[in-house]
Amino acid sequence: MNSMDIESKKFLGQPKSFVSIFNALIFDGQPVLKPEYFKDENSELVMNVSSKHVDIIKRYEDGTYLDLFVIESQ
């Protein structure tokens, strides 16, 4: 893994950075997703279903919705 991959994982591993990316891309910059509802997801089921090349998987659970967000950086 090169240093750029390591740095991008560090940056995107922070909840505020992760939320900012998805709010910008999906919700046109509106603060819809909240960082406090994101948790790291590493369950066996998700790991078996997802590619071995997925860098970051987060679970979003706010009492109403349960979603998985995945980032694969290149």
- Give per-residue pLDDT as tens, 7-24: 888 888 888 888 998 899
Instruction: Map tokens 């967000």 to a residue.
Output: 69
Mean pLDDT of 23-33: 93
Which residue segment(s) compose the domain that 42 sits in?
3-71
**What pLDDT band is residue 29 in, cutting at 50, 70 and 90?**
very high
Q: What's the number of domains the chain is made of? A: 1
Query: Would you state the pLDDT for residue 38?
Result: 82
pTM of the model: 0.64
Write out the DSSP string of 49-70.
HS-TT--EEEEEE-SS-EEEEE
- Give per-residue pLDDT as tens, 33-67: 898 888 777 667 666 666 566 777 777 788 776 67
